[in-house]
Structure 1
Amino acid sequence: MTTSPAGCPGADIPDSRGRTGLDRTGLDLTGNPRVRVTDVELVAAAWHVLRRTTLEYQDASGEWSTQQRETYDRGNGATVLLYDPDRRTVLLTRQFRFPVYVNGHPDGMLIEAAAGLLDEDDPETAIRREAAEETGVEIGELQHVYDVFMSPGSVTERLHFYAAPYTADTRTADGGGLADEGEEIDVLDIPFDESLAMIRDGRICDAKTIMLLHWAALDGPFAPSAGHSR
C-alpha cells in the first residue's frame, strides 16, 4: 500500500518532471523472501525523491519485525577518470558543492573526476556527455572499471565508473559545465603523482575520485604492470 496523500505531486498527479507513481517503488520487490515491503510514503518529490518505506524483515532466528527506512533517490550516475599515460597526468574538475561546504569543507570547492546523472541515457552515453560538458574532452576509447553503491545506508544511487585516455587533440573545447544549470567548473590538468599526494594531504577528498585514482595506481594505466613506471 501507499500512504501518500491524494493530490501529492509525484504520486497520482505529475510532479515538476512529469513523473507519477513514485510512491509505488519497492512494493513489487520479491528477490529476498525475508523482506516484505508493506507501505511506501512519498515524503518529498522535488528534483529528487525522498521516500519512507515500511517493511517486514525476518531475522536469522525466523522472527519478523517491522522496520522503516528512508531512501533518497536521485537516480543513477556515471564518472570517468581522464588520463594521459604519456604525460602521466589526470584531468579533474573543481566546482562549488554546497553539501560539503555546509558539512565542514573549508570553501566547498571540491576537486573531482568528471561525473553526472544518467538521466534518460545509458551509462556510457551519459559519461561521454558529462566529460564533454565539464572538461571539453571528446572520449574515444572507454574502459568500464566497476559499478558501486556509494552510500547504501540511505541513498539509492549506483555509480558507474569508467576510465578513458585523453590528449590535447581530444580536448576539443574548454569545458566548464553548463551555465544555464548554474555550473562553473574549473578544469585541472594534474600530474598523477601529485594527485595521490593530494589525497594524502586532504586536497582531494571526494570518494569517487579517490577510488578512481587508487584504481589507476593499482590496476589501471599507472600500475607498475602497465609499463608506465615512475
Structure 2
Amino acid sequence: MRTGIDVPDRRGRTGLDRHGRDLTGNPRVRILDVQVLSCDWSVLRKTTFEYRHGDGHWSREQRETYDRGDGATLLLHNAARGTVLLTRQFRLPAYVNGHPDGMLIEAAAGLLDGDTAEEAIRREAAEETGRTVGEVEHVFDAYMSPGSVTERLHFFAAPYESTTPQPGETRGLADEGEDIEVLELPFPTALAMIRGGEIADAKTIMLLQWAALDGPFKRAGCST
C-alpha cells in the first residue's frame, strides 16, 4: 500500500498519482505516467510524457513538478500617506541560497488551503499584519516558477487604515513558528529597496511595480 496513492497521507489525500493524467488541452502532449516521489506536505511528482515538436517529431520527456497548492498575495497601500504595509520574516530557502540573513521583506501572502483566493488573502492579511481588509482589487494571476512549481499566485491590492505599526510589532501563527515583523514604508523607499536589493521577493517586486505603473501611486509620480 502506497501513502498518498492507495492510503491517505497525513493530509488525508489519496490518488495523488492521477493528477494530470486526463489532460487533453494540448494535442502536442501525451501524458504517459505519473509517479509520486514525495507527499509529506506538498507533493513531488515525476511525469513522463510525449511531446510533438514544431517539426512534427515526437520525443519522450520527464519532468519533476512540485505541487504546494495555489496561493494569494496582497499589497496593502495608503495613497493619502504615500505608504505601503509589508512584512519581514525568515525564509530558510532564501537563506541557504545566498540571502545574507534570510529575512525577506514581502507583501502578505499564503496558500489558499481550500478557500477562494479572496478569502485566503483576507485571512493572511489578518494573520500577518493584523489588519482587516475591506474591498480588495484583483490585479492579475501569475505562475511564479513554471519550470518546476505548479503554483499559480493570485495578486490583490487593497487600501489600509493609517494606523502605524508599533515598534517591534510582530504577527503570525505561533503554532506554525511564524514571527512576522510588520513594516510601513514610504512607497518611494520601497521602490528604492528593489533597486538596492533589500527587497528581493518576486511577488512583492511585481506588486510594487504594478502600484507604480497602474496602481494607486501612478499619478503620484512615484514610477520614476
Which band: TM-score by shorter chain? over 0.9
With over 3 angstroms needed to count, the CA separation of the structure-2 counterparts of 1:48 and 1:157, relative to structure 1, is same
**1:1-230 aligned within 5 A:** 7-168=1-162, 176-224=171-219, 228-229=220-221
Whichever residue aligns with residue 127 of structure 2, its letter is: E
Name the SS of the counterpart of 1:95 in structure 2.
strand
Per-residue CA deviation, residues 192-216 of structure 1 (Å, 9 max, x unaligned), is 0100010010000000000000000
Cα displacement (A) at 1:168 = 3.5
CA contact 1:114–1:130 (8 Å) conserved in 2: yes
2:81–2:162 CA contact under 8 A, matched in 1: no
TM-score, with normalisation over the residues of structure 2?
Answer: 0.95
How far apart are residue 38 of structure 1 and its match? 0.4
TM-score, normalised to structure 1, is: 0.93
How far the C-alpha of 1:170 sits from its partner, in A, is 11
Compared with structure 1, are the counterparts of its residues 144 and 175 closer, same or farther at alpha carbon in structure 2 (3 Å cutoff)?
farther
CA distance in 1, matches of 2:73, 2:51: 34
Shift >3 Å, 4+ stretches: 168-171
Work out the CA distance in 2 between the residues paired with 1:189 and 1:60: 50
- The CA deviation string for residues 158-177 of structure 1, in whole angstroms up to 9 with x for no partner, is 00000000013699xx6611
Give the Cα separation in 1 of the matches to 2:135 and 2:170: 19
CA contact (8 A) 2:164 2:184 kept: no
- The answer to whether the Cα contact below 8 Å between 1:132 and 1:175 also exists between their aligned partners in 2 is no
Q: CA RMSD in A?
A: 1.4
Gaps of 5+ in 1: 1-6
- Give ranges in structure 2 of 5+ residues lacking alignment: none
Identity %: 68
Distance 2:64 2:43 in 1: 10
The answer to which of 34-43 and 161-170 deviates more is 161-170
Equivalent position amino acid for 1:90 in 2: V
Contact 2:170/2:179 (8 A) holds in 1: no
